[in-house]
A = this chain, B = another copy of it.
Amino acid sequence: MSEDTHAVNIAKAAKAAFEASQLIPSSERVQALHEIRKELEAVKDQILTANKKDLEHAQAEVDAGRMSASLLSRLDLGKGDKWDSMLQGVTDVANLPDPTGQVSYASELDDGLELYRVSCPIGVLLVIFEARPEVVVNIAALAIKSGNAAILKGGKESNETAQLLSQAIQSALSKTSIPSTYIQSIQTRAEVSALLEQDRYIDLVIPRGSNSLVRSIQNSTRIPVMGHADGLCAVYLDKAADPAKAIRVAVDSKVDYPAACNAAETLIVHENLLDTVWPEVAKALIARGVQLRCDARTLASLTARDIILNVQPSTPEDYSTEHLSLTISVLSVPSLSAAISHINSHSSHHTESIVTEDEQAASIFCRGVDSAGTFVNASTRFADGFRYGFGTEVGISTGRIHARGPVGLEGLVIYKYMLRSKGSEGHVVGEFGTGEGKKQFKHAKIDTTSAPF
């Protein structure tokens, strides 16, 4: 069987499973999540043994200099409480409110003609991610909870582990009324390429990984892509910045977890602060091991004060670079609007923060900066589904439609319009209009959050 035929079969099976599942009450999806947890507990030993194989392969790659040690460490499912928190995650998702079946608009169009806009799953998701094997379980849980079928492709480094996790999920599903092809896994890039052609059966692609992964997928499919890209976030120290807040927010945004997409990569300093707040912020960053890449004016201010260790001149590229490490690019600006303009042209529209005591500057920054998160006196690191209170997150979207910023279960649903005539004759459009004897629409709001059928 060719890759293409294989891919069509997988995609068709996913769509058929999705369609069948639409008639199953959502409570059975919750039950399925409990079954999955049970099954994972039952086959824990086999999975951790498979994980050891992945780790051995990975260790050989690290030894040969073909893989980083940090990637290796993310593969380890037996480390610390990783296994337990993976299982707890399934239970947590099961316990979240049902994102489907919620009414967001209800209107009586005419006597006995009721319209309901009801949230429902999107359909079939193709999720492509890298490395960490537990993502298989996370994503499967989110898909099942929101009523979507999913096809998952993990990194090849975690292949052995991911296959057993997928088997456990399918085996658990086979004990429920949810079709076992609801969650399927694929292993090869060729399968991904073939599936990206299947826009008839696949409704949304979610790549979780590097910017280059996201872009390459966007370029090769007409299926909508919900981009979970990296972040190039900035902190702006306004001329009205409180010095202590400036230090706290700049340091936390950079050093709390430098490899995260919500860590700051750029620090923008109002020129009025060059001889006051800026040197203190620089010292605090340097004390935490941060390397500064400075423009001429921020550099001169430090040189004049003999702050030279871990300080070097920036290049233009630095301001478009996600360092993802303890390095930060610094520039000075003459005004708030120059800061906003730099951010809008350089950032990845993820999250930006202003430090200021000036309410008007805060307001202008929050409206003028075109990013998914605009913060005041708070670390960029707050941009996260758990911290926002969503319970869990599918990822963080830097796209502009459907979902933006940290995406919770809400990002995995859409809605459909259900229209119900309760009249004795049914309802037809021809009776409405402006002529004599024609009916007018009533458009009376119905106050409900759940559909009555």
Contact = CB atoms under 8 A, between A and B. Distances in A.
Interface of A: 18-19, 22-23, 107, 109, 113, 115, 122-123, 203-204, 215, 218-219, 222, 224-226, 242, 244-245, 248-249, 251-252, 256, 340-341, 344, 355, 359, 362-364, 366-368, 370-379, 381-383, 387-389, 399-402, 404-406, 414-421, 423, 425-430, 432, 441, 443, 453
- State the main secondary structure of chain A at its contact with B: mixed
Contacts of A107: 388-389
What is the oligomeric copy number?
2
Nearest to A389: B443
A428 B375 CA distance: 12
B416 A256 contact: no
B426 A242 contact: yes
Contacts of A344: 19
B400 A401 contact: no
26 contacts: A19-B344, A22-B367, A23-B368, A109-B382, A109-B389, A113-B382, A123-B400, A203-B401, A218-B222, A224-B224, A245-B426, A248-B428, A249-B426, A251-B428, A256-B429, A355-B426, A362-B453, A372-B417, A374-B417, A374-B419, A376-B419, A377-B420, A378-B420, A382-B429, A400-B414, A404-B415
A17 to B, nearest CB: 12
Given A23-B367, A382-B109, A252 B204 contact: no
A429 B252 contact: yes
Given A22-B370, A453-B366, A426 B377 contact: yes
A416 B399 CA distance: 11
A121 B278 CA distance: 35
A126 B9 CA distance: 36
Nearest to A203: B400
Given A378-B428, A402-B414, 8 more contacts: A22-B370, A122-B401, A222-B225, A252-B429, A372-B417, A374-B417, A374-B418, A404-B414
